[in-house]
């Protein structure tokens, strides 16, 4: 039996970031994934843009931009070879959206500048309205970044089919650990975590070979990356709740490529490879980081929770079980800060930020979920 302090199940950016910060705190960590590092799920298809969130002000926007600042600085300090600070231009989708951009500016302190239509045209961006340029934003090489995060950390390609907790340790095949982190994205087959409301949304990306001189990345309905080593990435998140990625059928990326062609000159683009992966998001779009509630035990102790009864005590948690999940389409923005937060909670006992603690969703699920008898 190979013994570790922590086993992390899932080698997407959420699992890799969690493992990185736990190792930094001196823990012996093992990462397991059935397919490989960033081979399936959201991280496998990620365009991996690292940029702020614009809007009229919300707690989600605030958290996202806190995570952006942390991620940007973290990548530049530790992994600059896998993070290209290309800048990212946010382009209004239409006339109505262009009017909203003026209001967005007062709700966000992220460093930016306005680019008018002539400036956009000089860069090679077609028929676009006045836009924001976030010049400190950029793009990660998703698989390379995940592999770099795991440097010096034990990893095995292994499909976890069963878990057990005995005598103070989690047992996973021939491995065991004091603590277990699930970073499995939209898939969960081990515990009742319905209250977290994790749903999958397909993300699709195409890598195109091109000689186009494009030095900046952009987003307008879809994302188009700068030309990095002769490759431009085109991608988007789409289609919730279906079993197969409909964008990767007989004409892969036809719709996305059509939109991209309205933004930049795609005349010499040649599709090199297509990527599809299911991204995991929560009910309220905030990440899910922290301990897991023992749902069966809680409902046995307080069966009237489903009829609106208040909690009589702190929710009972499954011992030494944690999640890092629900990062959605901004995985490479959220992951470093969420990984650091989880490591500090596990090692130092520091409280999880209430905005991302999964417990925020439990009572509402008890009272409103159609899964439960009233």
Taking only the tens place, the pLDDT of each residue in 164-218 is: 999 999 999 999 999 999 999 988 888 999 999 999 988 889 999 999 999 999 9
Taking only the tens place, the pLDDT of each residue in 260-278 is: 999 999 999 999 999 989 8
Helices and strands in the chain: count of H runs, count of E runs: 10, 19
Mean pLDDT of 232-240: 83
Q: Is the pLDDT at 155 greater than 80, yes or no? A: yes
Indicate the pLDDT class of residue 249, thresholds 50, 70 and 90: low
Q: How far is CA 74 from CA 21, 70, 84, 186, in A?
A: 12, 6, 13, 26
Mean pLDDT of 248-269: 85
Distance between CA 97 and CA 91 in Å, rounded?
9
Taking only the tens place, the pLDDT of each residue in 74-92 is: 999 999 999 999 999 999 9
DSSP code of 190? S
Helix (H) or strand (E) holding 277: strand 270-281
Distance between CA 265 and CA 61 in Å, rounded?
32
Q: Where are the beta strands (DSSP E) in 34-134?
A: 49-50, 83-84, 88-90, 113-115, 131-134
Indicate the pLDDT class of residue 109, thresholds 50, 70 and 90: confident
Percent of the chain with pLDDT over 70: 95
Q: Is the pLDDT at 3 greater than 70, yes or no? A: yes
């Amino acid at each position: 039996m190979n013994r570790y302090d922590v086993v992390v199940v899932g080698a997407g950016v959420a699992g890799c970031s969690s493992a990185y910060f736990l190792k930094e705190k001196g823990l012996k960590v093992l990462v397991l994934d059935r397919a490989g590092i960033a081979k399936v799920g959201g991280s496998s298809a990620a365009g991996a843009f690292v940029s702020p969130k614009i809007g009229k002000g919300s707690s989600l926007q605030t958290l996202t931009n806190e995570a952006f600042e942390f991620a940007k600085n973290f990548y530049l300090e530790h992994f600059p070879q896998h993070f290209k600070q290309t800048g990212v231009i946010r382009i209004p989708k239409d006339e109505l959206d262009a009017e909203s951009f003026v209001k967005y500016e007062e709700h966000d302190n992220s460093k930016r500048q306005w680019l008018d239509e002539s400036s956009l045209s000089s860069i090679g961006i077609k028929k676009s309205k006045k836009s924001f340029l976030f010049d400190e934003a950029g793009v990660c090489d998703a698989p390379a970044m995940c592999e770099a995060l795991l440097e010096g950390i034990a990893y095995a390609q292994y499909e976890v089919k069963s878990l057990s907790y005995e005598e103070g340790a989690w047992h996973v095949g021939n491995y065991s650990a004091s603590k277990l982190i699930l970073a499995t994205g939209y898939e969960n087959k081990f515990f009742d975590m319905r209250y977290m409301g994790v749903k999958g949304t397909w993300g699709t990306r195409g890598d195109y070979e091109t000689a186009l001189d494009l030095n900046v990345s952009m987003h307008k309905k879809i994302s188009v990356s700068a030309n990095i080593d002769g490759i431009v990435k085109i991608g988007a998140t789409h289609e919730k709740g279906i079993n197969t990625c409909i964008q990767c059928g007989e004409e892969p990326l036809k719709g996305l490529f059509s939109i991209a062609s309205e933004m930049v000159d795609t005349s010499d683009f040649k599709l090199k490879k297509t990527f599809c992966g299911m991204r995991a998001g929560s009910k309220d779009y905030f990440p899910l980081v922290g301990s897991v509630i023992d749902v069966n035990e809680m409902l046995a102790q307080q069966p009237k929770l489903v009829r609106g009864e208040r909690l009589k005590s702190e929710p009972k948690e499954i011992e030494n079980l944690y999640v890092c999940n629900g990062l959605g389409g901004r995985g490479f923005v959220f992951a470093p800060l969420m990984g650091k937060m989880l490591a500090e909670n596990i090692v130092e006992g520091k409280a999880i930020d209430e905005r991302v603690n999964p417990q925020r969703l439990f009572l509402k699920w008890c009272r409103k979920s159609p899964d439960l008898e009233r």
